[in-house]
Amino acid sequence: MSRYFTEDHEWIDVDGDTGTVGISDYAQGQLGDIVFVEVPDEGRQLTKGDEAAVVESVKAASDVYSPVSGNVVEGNAALADDPSLVNSDPEGEGWFFRIQLSDPSELEELMDEAAYEAFVAKL
C-alpha cells in the first residue's frame, strides 16, 4: 500500500485501484478538537480537488478535498457517532472515505511521506 499527501493536508492510502482518504495528523492538530464530520455519500463522483467532506472543530469548519478523481465506494460511518476518531487516529481509524480511482496517474502529482514532512516543516 502506498500513501500520498496533498498540500491541503489530505492523505490517501492506495491499494490497487481503491484509495482511503483522510486528513493528516498535522491538519487535525491545527483544527483542534473535532466535533462534527460529514463524509461523502456512497456513489458520489468526485473530481480531483472537489470538496468531498466537511470537518468541524471547536476552532473552525474546514473542507476536505478529494486528492484524486473517482467514485466514492464508502464513507466512514463511525465518524458520525465519534468524530473524535479524527483526533485520536487521524491516519488510521479516523479516515473519511474510500474512493475507486478513475485516473491513477493523478497520484504522481501528490507528495510521498518524506516530501510531505519537508513541506510541513516549512509551515
Cβ(67)–Cβ(50) below 8 Å: no
Question: Per DSSP, which regions of the chain are E strands?
Answer: 2-5, 10-15, 18-23, 34-38, 45-46, 51-57, 61-65, 70-75, 97-101
Q: Which three cell numbers stand for residue 60?
A: 473552525
Distance CA 21, CA 33 (A): 19
pLDDT digits (tens, 9 = 90+) for 35-90: 999 999 999 999 999 999 999 999 999 999 999 999 999 999 999 999 999 999 99
Cα–Cα distance, 6 to 84 (Å, whole number): 22
Q: Is the pTM higher than 0.85?
A: yes
Pick the CATH number of 2-100 from 3.40.47.10, 3.40.220.10, 2.40.50.100, 2.90.10.10: 2.40.50.100
The residues spanned by each domain of the chain are 2-100
Q: How far apart are CA 80 and CA 61, in angstroms?
A: 16
